[in-house]
Amino acid sequence: MINVSLIMEYLYCPFKVYIQQINDYDILTKSMVSGRISHEALRGYEEIIKRNIWTLKKEMDITEILKELFKDVPEFLEDVYHQYHQEQINDHADVSFESLKEDIKFNSWIIAIKSQKILKTGRTCADVVDLLFPPCLIELIIEDQEIGLIGQIDKIEIIDGVYYPIKVKTGLPSLKGVWESDALQVTAYAILMEREFNKEVPVGFINYIRVGSKKPVLINSYLREKFSNVYYELDSILNKGSVPEIVQNIRKCRACDYSEVCEYSIG
């Protein structure tokens, strides 16, 4: 089975995938730990925000709304961090957790502003929840044995019977749209969803929480073909033992978690 998460690794460096999978290295990287903390924190944070929305009143100003929405969030985030610190982080305690907290506070401001505007129109707290948080499936794992692909989708929003895959990112977006690796991962999720639910998935989204922007990804023929090419390359590496072409890049090598075990590293 090819995991959708390997798309990003492959586009960063195909040989990184080869080292990781063929040589069976089990390295707990900083990015892996950061990703686990972020997903756990964001999932719980959203549930707290949805709960706290029900306590809002239309006469509240923005500061009061933010305070009410953010209630219990700092304590929850610290609990998540300490849980992972004790169980998994070990030598990777320098995860950028403070940055994550700032991003979450920033997104809370955005939700507070939207909530106030909705309430001022005479809508209820229930309306705010429905408008800002449509029905969704969280961290759904889809495994397709026929095509040999598996992926855990951060969120699937369901609006008027249409399913939209959402990928949550803590990094900055590209200056022009979305990063190619993000677009291809969402495309892979769309393909899995189409086969699982027997529904066309025309659009996905990347939620870049650092800037509070949910950018669309049109699941077109170009992205589908590009994904197919990457899929076959991954299949060749993982299932046929093919050695990918070595393309050295000093910037990537220096930042790579596998630089110490890679014989081609120039970092």
What would the two tokens of residue 120 be?
């001022």
> Between these two residues, 8 and 124, which has the higher pLDDT value?
124
Instruction: Indicate if the pLDDT at residue 72 is higher than 50.
Output: yes
Q: Strand 203-208 to strand 162-169: parallel, antiparallel, or no bridges (unpaired)?
A: parallel
Q: Are 173 and 211 in contact (CB under 8 A)?
A: yes
Domains and CATH numbers, the chain: 2-25+135-255 (3.90.320.10), 30-132 (no CATH)
Provide the pLDDT for residue 25.
Answer: 61
Torsion of CA 100, 41, 80, 64, to 10 degrees: 80
> Between these two residues, 23 and 155, which has the higher pLDDT value?
155
Percent of the residues in the chain that have a pLDDT greater than 70, as a whole number:
90
Instruction: Indicate if the pLDDT at residue 93 is higher than 50.
Output: no
The mean pLDDT value for 232-257 works out to 85
Q: Is 67 exposed, middle or buried (0-12, 13-18, 19+ CB in 10 A)?
A: middle
Kindly list the distances between the CA atom of residue 143 and the CA atoms of 7, 44, 125, in Å, as whole numbers in the listed order: 16, 25, 37
Instruction: Indicate if the pLDDT at residue 87 is higher than 60.
Output: no
Q: Are 124 and 194 in contact (CB under 8 A)?
A: no
Give per-residue pLDDT as tens, 31-40.
666 777 888 8
Candidates 47, 49, 43, 69; CA nearest to 57 is: 69
Q: Which amino acid is at 61?
A: D
